[in-house]
Amino acid sequence: MHLSKRLGAEALGTFWLVLGGCGSAVLAAAFPGLGIGFHGVALAFGLTVLTMAFAIGHISGCHLNPAVTIGLATAGRFPKSEILPYWVAQVIGGIIAAGILYLIATGKPGAEIGGFAANGYGEHSPGLYSMNAALISEVVMTFMFLIVILGATDKRAPAGFAPIAIGLCLTLIHLISIPVTNTSVNPARSTSQALFVGGWALQQLWLFWVAPLVGALIAGIVYPAIWGEKD
């Protein structure tokens, strides 16, 4: 399929991930009496990936995440020449979703966006975790996310179940690491929210690019080296 159509699918998919995942955190997590809490937010992120994997997986591969794109490319599953266009599409889709979420979130009297589901460490970590803790968490969680993606989409794996495994993996990752960083494992998701929060969120954004990309690169090397199909 033509690259432009695949990029459109990636932008739409990342739009849905940010709107569904971050939207649940901003609008529904702490709603008086009916808040969905960490558990609901974790499930929302997993559901966005699961639903989009079925909807656009056959079109673009449903990366929705610069870390996933570079991890797949490192593992030899995706052309390196298309990394940057995919990244651009993902970031644009995320920013559009964050803009719509901002308009919704500020559409009531006295509304304040607060942290706007942005990722952070130190005093901006939900659990006040340090920069080192955040860095370790994001590298390891992204590494495991890519291991599951690479394994579930391996041609030797049972066909048709990859979206379920990947969506549940992202849910589990959020259940573990929301208290640490608000869970990124996705630079596009982090960038979209940071742009609207500004200040500290932009200053700390570097970690939520570096750590996920490092984790994905390691997984892209490790999976084929250990479990790749031998000739």
DSSP assignments along 138-203, one per residue: HHHHHHHHHHHHHHHTSTTSPTT-HHHHHHHHHHHHHHHHHHHHS--S-HHHHHHHHHHH-THHHH
* Mean of pLDDT values over 45-71: 98
Mean pLDDT, the chain, integer: 96
Q: Which domain holds residue 101?
A: 3-227
| Count of domains forming the chain | 1
Does residue 89 carry a pLDDT above 90?
Answer: yes
The whole-angstrom separation of Cα 100 and Cα 190 is 16
Does residue 146 carry a pLDDT above 60?
Answer: yes
Percent of the chain with pLDDT over 70: 99
Tokens of 215: 């984790």
The per-residue pLDDT for range 210-231, each reduced to its tens digit, is 999 999 999 999 999 999 876 4
CATH code: domain of residue 59: 1.20.1080.10
* Mean of pLDDT values over 138-147: 98
